[in-house]
Amino acid sequence: PRGLFEPQLKSYFGQFGKVTRTRVSRSKKTGRSKGYGFVEFECDEVAKIVAETMNNYLIGERLIKCQVVPPEKVHEKLFVGSRLGFKKPKQPAVARYNKQHAEDDLKKVGTKLLSKESKLRKRLAAKGIDYDFPGFVSTVFCMFVTDSSLSRFISYFDHHFWSKYESIITLPPVKYNAKFLSICSKAERNSCVSCMVE
């Protein structure tokens, strides 16, 4: 339920017996609860009583499901950092995804993709594997208007069509990488394609 975090769990379940550690599973992107957590009691008998008593208990219009987890099934790092308390991520993944990506960032992504492909080809050659694949040589390009202060992404079109325009520079050709294309398509949505193409 909303508002039921580590301090609240410790104080609530403390009425049954001594609570040693608590942990609420959270999303790394937003820091919000995933809807389940763990409470460790000093005594095994208390844990069993709590599981029986609190199972199917209604808290804040939510049905609580409780069960005892045997010690051998508890992950060794389950309660790591539980004493420190939760700190919201300074820059969650959502903010990183939604931020405006500059031309330099996109160049780095393109360079990294080509570097990975080059290393893969070398590894295959070293092992004696004769395997040829198109790799990142494709008709998908990132293009930027050099005279624009925004340097926004225009679109991914055929390189031969755009190469005649001197005002447009291209990144190294890249294939359909999900992260790269998501950055590019987002930048495309934020740019004025019609006036740039003219």
Spans of all domains in the chain: 6-89, 100-197
With a cut of 60, say whether residue 153 has pLDDT above it.
no
pLDDT, one tens digit per residue, over 82-106 is 777 777 766 677 777 777 777 777 7
Beta bridge partners of 46: none
Tokens 């079109």: give the residue.
157
pLDDT, one tens digit per residue, over 120-135 is 889 999 999 988 777 6
Contacts of 64 (CB under 8 A, 6+ apart): 54, 55, 56, 57, 58
pLDDT, one tens digit per residue, over 27-75 is 877 778 898 999 999 999 999 999 999 999 988 888 999 999 998 999 9
Please state, rounded to an integer, the average pLDDT across all residues of the chain.
Answer: 72
Predicted confidence band of residue 138 (pLDDT cuts 50, 70, 90): very low
Q: What is the pLDDT of residue 89?
A: 67
Q: What percent of the chain has pLDDT over 90?
A: 27
CATH topology of domain 6-89: Alpha-Beta Plaits (3.30.70)
Report how far residue 40's alpha carbon sits from residue 63's, in angstroms, rounded to the nearest whole number: 20
